[in-house]
Amino acid sequence: MFACNRTNGNGFHLSFENGWTISVQWGDGTYSEFRDANGKNFIQSKDAEVAAWDKDGNWWKFEEDTVQGYKTADEVIAFTHMISKLPA
């Protein structure tokens, strides 16, 4: 499933058949190059923050937090792939 927040539209969620969901966000208040969109309708960023949680709401734990920022497109794809392959 694909989802986005139509209020601020700073990213998207992907939910996988294994029950895990990832979040990819950039823009206002995120850990990304473009942290302050100042109300602009279109924003782009060279990096984004990522997070993930399972069907029971348990968050993926990085070394120090449940969100990891400043990820390049290649790093976001690698994280997405890894989460999509976790056991259900």
Phi-psi region of 9 (alpha: psi -120 to 50; beta: other; left: phi over 0): left
Beta-carbon contacts of 62 under 8 Å, excluding residues fewer than 6 positions away, are 68
Chain segment 22-34, per-residue pLDDT in tens: 999 988 888 888 7
Whole-structure pTM value: 0.86
Domain spans of the chain, in order of start = 2-84
CA 76 to CA 11: how far, in whole Å?
A: 12
- Beta strand 48-53 with 2-3 is unpaired
pLDDT for the residue 52: 98
Cα-to-chain-centroid distance, residue 41: 20
